[in-house]
Structure 1
Amino acid sequence: MQSGTPTPDSYYEPVDEHRYKPTPHASGAWNTEEQHFSPLGGLIVHAMDRHLAARPHTGLLPARISFDILGPPALDECEIRVESIRPGRTIELLEAVVLIADRPVVRARAWLLATADTTAVAGGAAATLTPPQQLAPWPLDSLWPGGYIASLDVRPLAPPQPGRTTAWVSTGVDLVAGRPSSPLASFVALVDTANGIAVRQSPTDWMFPNVDLTIHLHRQPEGAWTGLDTTVVFGPTGQGLTSTVLHDLNGPVGHAQQLLTVRPLPGTDG
């Protein structure tokens, strides 16, 4: 995008049925010339939704979505290919591959499960969070650079602590220009933010990017806010784990895990 051109009010612009162009809003925190994975994760779910919408409704719902990040996704046009690799009437497995310059950068899989009325036995989830309307915004862009972080409204329930933060996240930026996105796609587009809200060490001294993201859902999320009850652990041999209880305004909806590679930035003492 040329300098001086107004920034679109979306993270992506559709090029054709399967290709998308990221806008400056999608730029990353570790490297602003790359895409932040959070909106890209939402875009993958959006592509899966479109794949499912092109066939008769099966009544199956996504219950687990896993993303393996094969390499840094450049802030360039991407293509998303989706296929069903395990079709079924009660259980189905979808796979999506994201390609940039014909190179796979993300592989994702989603398990879809049949729906049933289990209201009578539902239970076991954590308590609901204090609603975001009662909380003050936190300028996360004071800690992280990039267009994606700058696009967020972040509202912590308490002052963020190293390795432990609970916060609501929302955005006024559409996922894909001119195309409606499902509540799930919009929700997932904010989940990868979890690794940036409870940092254990300064990101100017240490790197701790995630190489994957796995989301398990016991309920489909609703609404414009994604709640992240996040804990970050660093191990002694270069690995870390970001674990999050996921919420919408009605309560918990599931869990997310992110595997981290932890290492000092070049030129720092570590």
Structure 2
Amino acid sequence: MSYWHRTGPRTFTPTEHVGGAWDLKTQHIATLLGVLAHEIERDRDNRRDDGLRISRLSYDILGTIPLEPVDVEVTVLRGGRTIELVEARASHAGRPVVLLRAWLTADYPTADLEGTHHVTMPAPDQVPAWDMTAVWGGGFIASVEVRRRDLGPGRAQAWVRTPHRLVADEGVSRLAQVAGLLDITNGVAVRVAPEDVSFPNLDLTAHLFRTPGTGWLGLDTTVSFGQAGAGVTTSVLHDEHGAFGISTQCLTVRP
């Protein structure tokens, strides 16, 4: 089972598991974000293998996308041996739909400096299973397993994972797999029921201070709404060993 099939050198066709939550006729953007990260890593490996790794993913979502093929192009904006800025652009029928700009950085020996004050989450087996389809529809939501601790309106801790491959018949890094799940954060800690208020995100930016480990992806999530139609979803990102980054999303809040 997979979310996408590569049907051309730069073309990807979605499966039914990519179906959206806000509109069942459109894509849930989450897994396409993973595909863009995957293509940036593949481009880097094809050009040269010098160990640079992604430390920031910044996506702008330009519109909804039907459940149809998309094309992905990768461009190096700032090349370098220790720091590089790369852009991946997803298009549907010639129209850009998602832009990703990723910073890649070289590794340095900083194990003796490692540390964070982010609070550790309860382990996955300490958090109850949650049927996310009771709140959200669509093929993507139905494809993931979620465990969730409700901490009040707009506040939750959740663990998520999926048995599905990101791209059929292709090796995909753990980072790209995680990138394909990050957009679920806006749905795990709803402040107001989505049938009463629409609050889609316009972007997603993840800053990573280490590479995520395998297993469950943890989301320590807070959703905030302002007084004039804007909101922000913020998540501290965890694997089963602790925090590894932070994700934010800009929301348009529409009663």
TM > 0.5: yes
**1:66 matches 2:65:** no
**Structure 2 residue corresponding to 1:28, chosen from 20, 34, 39:** 20
> What SS does the aligned partner of 2:40 have?
helix
**1:250 matches 2:241:** yes
Q: Post-superposition shift, 1:56? A: 1.7
User: 2: distance between equivalents of 1:74 and 1:101?
Assistant: 10
Are the aligned partners of 1:128 and 1:249 in contact in 2 as well (CA < 8 Å)? no
Spell out the pairing of 1:127-138 with structure 2 (5 A cutoff).
127-138=119-130
User: 1: distance between equivalents of 2:51 and 2:168?
Assistant: 27
**1:111 matches 2:103:** yes
Are the aligned partners of 1:18 and 1:80 in contact in 2 as well (CA < 8 Å)? yes
* Runs of 4+ in structure 1 over 4 Å off: none
Instruction: Indicate the residue corresponding to 1:224 in structure 2.
Output: 215
Instruction: Indicate the residue corresponding to 2:189 in structure 1.
Output: 198
Q: Post-superposition shift, 1:244? A: 0.5
User: 2: distance between equivalents of 1:80 and 1:125?
Assistant: 38
User: 2: distance between equivalents of 1:136 and 1:201?
Assistant: 21
Are the aligned partners of 1:152 and 1:169 in contact in 2 as well (CA < 8 Å)? yes
User: 2: distance between equivalents of 1:174 and 1:60?
Assistant: 24
**Structure 2 residue corresponding to 1:241, chosen from 211, 221, 232:** 232
User: 2: distance between equivalents of 1:85 and 1:14?
Assistant: 25
Task: Report the residue type matching 2:181 in the other structure.
Answer: L
Are the aligned partners of 2:237 and 2:246 in contact in 1 as well (CA < 8 Å)? yes
User: 1: distance between equivalents of 2:228 and 2:123?
Assistant: 38
> What SS does the aligned partner of 1:214 have?
strand
Are the aligned partners of 1:154 and 1:169 in contact in 2 as well (CA < 8 Å)? yes
* Residue-by-residue CA offset, 1:127-174 (whole Å, 9 max, x unaligned): 332221333310000100000000111001x23521000000000111
Shifted more, 105-114 versus 46-55: the winner is 46-55
**1:184 matches 2:175:** yes
Q: Post-superposition shift, 1:51? A: 0.8
> What SS does the aligned partner of 1:221 have?
coil
Q: Post-superposition shift, 1:49? A: 1.5
* Residue-by-residue CA offset, 1:200-249 (whole Å, 9 max, x unaligned): 11101110000000000000111132110000000000000000000011
> What SS does the aligned partner of 1:255 have?
strand
Task: Report the residue type matching 1:57 in the other structure.
Answer: D
Normalised by the size of structure 2, how large is the TM-score?
0.97
> What SS does the aligned partner of 1:224 have?
coil
Are the aligned partners of 1:125 and 1:252 in contact in 2 as well (CA < 8 Å)? no
* Residue-by-residue CA offset, 1:80-106 (whole Å, 9 max, x unaligned): 101111001111000010000110001
Q: Post-superposition shift, 1:125? A: 3.8
User: 1: distance between equivalents of 2:200 and 2:247?
Assistant: 15
> What SS does the aligned partner of 1:207 have?
coil
Instruction: Determine what percentage of the aligned residue pairs are the same residue.
Output: 45
Q: Post-superposition shift, 1:189? A: 0.9
Structure 2 unmatched ranges of 5 or more: none
**Structure 2 residue corresponding to 1:48, chosen from 40, 60, 79:** 40
Task: Report the residue type matching 1:93 in the other structure.
Answer: L
Task: Report the residue type matching 2:249 in the other structure.
Answer: Q
Task: Report the residue type matching 2:163 in the other structure.
Answer: G
**Structure 2 residue corresponding to 1:213, chosen from 188, 204, 225:** 204
